[in-house]
Amino acid sequence: MALPPPTKDQAYCKVSALEASEVQLSLAIFLTEVDNPDPLTGEKALAPSLSFLFHHSKNHKKFIFDLGVRKDFENYPPAVVECWIKVFFPCQVSKDPVDCLTKGGYVPNDIDYICLSHLHFDHVGDPSLFPKSMFLVGAQGKNLS
């Protein structure tokens, strides 16, 4: 099945990648052959955590997919900071989606929708920075509202 041919004045989305942090990850998560597969002592690499801004050409709605790690990650629940961030996934957050939006001429109140792919700390960011946005989450996330 082929895509339909383009039409005059067809709607589209402009997509922009937004820096949302960098997370240090064990290479054993992604590679099958590493010298030391232990997640604590094995090789690690710094990986970008990206968010994506979608801007619809017709209705001008703006949609962000994922928020990365919040800049003040020390304000996550203590168990997340002490176990996950300090032990398994050290983070660097020099820019977050709000910084990237500002650089592109937007403010958080311009964002209509935010979809969180899942509710891990490296995807939820700081939702309080987007008070006017509607959040789209899976059924399990409804319990957190």
- What are the pLDDT digits (tens) for 90-117? 999 999 999 999 999 999 999 999 999 9
Question: Is the pLDDT assigned to residue 138 strictly greater than 90?
Answer: no
Cα 3 to Cα 129: distance, rounded to the nearest angstrom:
38
Cα 5 to Cα 109: distance, rounded to the nearest angstrom:
35
Domains of the chain: 18-144 (3.60.15.10)
Q: What is the value of pTM for the model shown?
A: 0.86
pLDDT recorded at residue 141: 75
84: region left, alpha or beta (phi > 0 left; psi from -120 to 50 alpha) = alpha
Question: Is the pLDDT assigned to residue 145 strictly greater than 60?
Answer: no
Average pLDDT, the chain: 91
